[in-house]
Amino acid sequence: MGTVNEDLRRERDKCTFDITELTTLFDGGKDKMLERKEREELMVSKREFEQGVCEDLLSHKGKYEECMRKSIITFGHIRQMQREGKIKITDYKDVLDCLLGSGNTRDGSPLALHYMMFMPAILSLATTEQQEYWLSKAWDCKIIGSYAQTELGHGTFIRGLETIATYDATTKEFVLHSPTITSYKWWPGGIGHTANYSIVVAQLYTKGECHGIHWFMVQVRDEETHETLPGIKLGDIGPKMGLQPVNNGFLGFEHVRIPRSHMLMKHAQVLEDGTYVKSSNQKLLYAAMVFVRVLILSDMVNHLSKAVTIATRYSAVRRQTPVIKGGPELQILDYATHQHKLFINIASTYAIRIVANKQWEIYYKVNDEVANGNCTRLAELHALACCLKAVGTSDAASGVERMRRACGGQGYLQSSYLPQLGAFTAAACTYEGDNTVLLLQTARFLVKTWQQIDSSSLTPTVSYMKPASAARYLDRWENSVEGIIHGLQVVAVKKIAGCVTVMEKRVQSGMALEDAWNMTSVQLEAAAEAHCRVILVTFFFEGISEWLAKASPPLRHVLQLLLELYAVYWALEKMVDLMKYTCISGDDAEALQSRYEQLLSSLRPHAVPLVDALGIRDELLQSTLGAYDGQVYERLMQEALKSPLNEDRVNQTFHKYLKPFMKGKL
């Protein structure tokens, strides 16, 4: 392609700030940026990668097989970097974040879960001895693991899982069994044909008593032949909306025996004689689930970054309709309705990056505290990870879909890569906890916090609740970012308090507490989202403030616009709540709408530079619409011509079906 599209070039020529300066902030410092670039260069440099047919054109089986070929190249690189000490086992989240998240495969990988769940689960659930044994094998990819929790009949309610692990003290083994069709494990990535081991979640029975769910290491295939082991039933669960080659599978057991040492016993143990030793803190068992939820928010940054890069660049290239009859056609990017779709998602990308970083900080801090026996912030971390996973994935999914539609028909083409990004983010709304269920878990924490607000000290992320409920917050309004944050805080507190009142009324009128909770749950979900909006805007505000301290003046100006746009957008979206619970006036609201429209105009010149600064290489972006040079029409045609359907001038179905039909013979 070579030459850059004229419109795109002009956008960049007008750029007012140093793009690398922003990329450095986004990546978390110069070292991290260089590290990322070095890794990406290594990944992309392998030419063999480009052989073969584009996965999009293949069958369900073909997609898996082509993806295996590519995944092995990718993971070979990762292992190489591990061996060279460039990736350490204690901090490989950067790899998960970048290399796997923006990986080289087009539609996910059957090996991803090995890194994203199998190893983290070993780290959080296995004893030191077990870790030494399993982690060294897993880390070096001598074995490939999956994580089997969800069953055909149970996903959300994990206490209801049906798979059974019964301890047999005579042989010192556990017997794993799937008593019903609904007890089959269903969805684990890579379990169909890739993994030879899996961590399996099952109800532990010993001495005739059930002790609830526990975690077991189970070998499912022979290490040499890859044949399934006796009593193991597994396979692929078939085509999906996206993530086709991930090889999500089913897994059932017919009285499969594993050694006692294969139960992961960091927290609870079964002794040789079958005696059950309870975990000191049940909550610690769910640590791996919290890790993945924290990870998911980072992953959303990757997807949203790509979507806004694609949509923004294409909008600079695409011209449609003159504003003045007979005049030149406008760049789509100049339409306010289009800016309305794009810019909030550019802002969201930066916001979620910053919020995800802050969540990692909290995650590591709390983990350290827990390691030292201090569990005071565990419930808070859980509530935070729940709502940020829910709102983060849901914002990303709707954002990506909005970007896809903003690209018109071309966004519907797989060569644009937007459908795949849509399918990734849509999946994230469901996996690792359905978003509604997660928000209700946060709501439960918030209700409890509210009910004890006068008697207990508040942990940091809910500390706003006390001042925000005080009267002095309610009788003033200010159209500024801080003013909006105050307003959103008041809204969150009032909504939680309102739910408590409604539930109390319902209980007083004779309803059971559980039913009152259920009937109020639409409002409870909304209250948890309101709390999460406070977190998002506040963390973004704090994070941008830190960036501002480091940034040069031209960049500072753009960052301020971005933050303000984000805050004003959410104020307008939540205006009904602000009107209900704060003293915002009709004039304030109109001024915000008008300010919003001005912000769109002000951000317009910075749109392309802002997505360029996300620093996504064309090879990882994989999009006909989003490449740096903006040669979209040439690429669209080039990709179309690769379709095997275009190899035959006349398709065989003409002779078999179409011609006889047109001639009236069929």
- Residue 339 to residues 212, 277, 295, 333, 605: CA-CA distances in angstroms? 52, 59, 30, 6, 11
| Burial zone of 103 (CB within 10 Å; 0-12 exposed, 13-18 middle, 19+ buried) | buried
Q: 248 phi and psi, to 5 degrees?
A: -60, 135
- Judged by CB under 8 A, the stretch of 9-17, 93-101, 117-125, 135-143 that binds a second copy is 135-143
Q: In the window 9-28, what residues touch a second copy (CB under 8 A)?
A: none
282 is an interface residue for a second copy by CB under 8 A: no
143 is an interface residue for a second copy by CB under 8 A: yes
- Judged by CB under 8 A, the stretch of 22-30, 69-77, 286-294, 456-464 that binds a second copy is 69-77
As measured in angstroms, the least distance from the Cβ of 211 to a second copy is: 15
As measured in angstroms, the least distance from the Cβ of 318 to a second copy is: 8
662 is an interface residue for a second copy by CB under 8 A: yes
Tokens matching residue 583 = 């003293």
As measured in angstroms, the least distance from the Cβ of 427 to a second copy is: 6
589 is an interface residue for a second copy by CB under 8 A: yes
156 is an interface residue for a second copy by CB under 8 A: yes
Residues 348 and 355: their CA atoms lie apart, in Å, by: 10
213 is an interface residue for a second copy by CB under 8 A: no
Q: Which is closer to a second copy, CB of 15 or CB of 158?
A: 158
Tokens matching residue 393 = 């994935």
Q: In the window 240-259, what residues touch a second copy (CB under 8 A)?
A: 240-242, 247, 250
- Judged by CB under 8 A, the stretch of 41-49, 94-102, 137-145, 357-365 that binds a second copy is 137-145
- Judged by CB under 8 A, the stretch of 9-17, 84-92, 154-162, 281-289 that binds a second copy is 154-162
323 is an interface residue for a second copy by CB under 8 A: yes
566 is an interface residue for a second copy by CB under 8 A: no
What is the number of other CB atoms lying within 10 angstroms of the CB of residue 470?
A: 10
604 is an interface residue for a second copy by CB under 8 A: no
- Report the DSSP pairing between strands 232-236 and 209-219: unpaired
Residues 364 and 294: their CA atoms lie apart, in Å, by: 11
Q: Which is closer to a second copy, CB of 597 or CB of 619?
A: 597
591 is an interface residue for a second copy by CB under 8 A: no
474 is an interface residue for a second copy by CB under 8 A: no
Number of residues that bind a second copy (CB under 8 A): 132
Question: Who contacts 481 (Cβ-Cβ below 8 Å, separation ≥6)?
Answer: 537, 541, 563, 564, 567
Q: Which of 422, 409, 363, 420 is nearest to 388 (CA)?
A: 363
163 is an interface residue for a second copy by CB under 8 A: no
500 is an interface residue for a second copy by CB under 8 A: no
- Judged by CB under 8 A, the stretch of 122-130, 258-266, 299-307, 656-664 that binds a second copy is 656-664
Residues 272 and 160: their CA atoms lie apart, in Å, by: 27
- Residue 282 to residues 212, 274, 277, 394, 438: CA-CA distances in angstroms? 11, 20, 12, 29, 19
225 is an interface residue for a second copy by CB under 8 A: yes
- Identify the three-state secondary structure at position 221: strand
286 is an interface residue for a second copy by CB under 8 A: no
Q: Site for a second copy (CB under 8 A): which residue of 127, 219, 560, 593?
A: 593
- Report the DSSP pairing between strands 249-253 and 185-186: antiparallel
Q: Which is closer to a second copy, CB of 144 or CB of 484?
A: 144
As measured in angstroms, the least distance from the Cβ of 633 to a second copy is: 5
The residues annotated as belonging to the active site are: 432
What track of x and - describes contact with a second copy for positions 619 through 638 (by CB under 8 A)?
--------------xx-xx-
For residue 541, the Cα-to-chain-centroid distance in whole angstroms is 22
Q: Where are the beta strands (DSSP E) in 307-396?
A: 319-322, 329-331
Question: Who contacts 203 (Cβ-Cβ below 8 Å, separation ≥6)?
Answer: 161, 162, 163, 164, 165, 210, 211, 212, 213, 214
Q: Which is closer to a second copy, CB of 131 or CB of 394?
A: 394
Residues 198 and 612: their CA atoms lie apart, in Å, by: 41
Q: Which is closer to a second copy, CB of 89 or CB of 522?
A: 522
Q: In the window 383-442, what residues touch a second copy (CB under 8 A)?
A: 401, 404-405, 408-409, 411-415, 419, 422, 426-427, 429-431, 434-436, 440
Spatial contact of 144 and 198, defined as CB atoms under 8 Å apart: no
Residues 527 and 438: their CA atoms lie apart, in Å, by: 12
65 is an interface residue for a second copy by CB under 8 A: yes
Q: Site for a second copy (CB under 8 A): which residue of 334, 369, 619, 629?
A: 334
Q: Site for a second copy (CB under 8 A): which residue of 12, 46, 172, 340?
A: 340
Residues 250 and 235: their CA atoms lie apart, in Å, by: 6
Q: Which residues of 502-511 are buried (b: 16+ CB within 10 A; e: fewer)?
A: ebeebeeeeb
448 is an interface residue for a second copy by CB under 8 A: no
Residues 293 and 573: their CA atoms lie apart, in Å, by: 26
Q: Which is closer to a second copy, CB of 422 or CB of 543?
A: 422
529 is an interface residue for a second copy by CB under 8 A: no
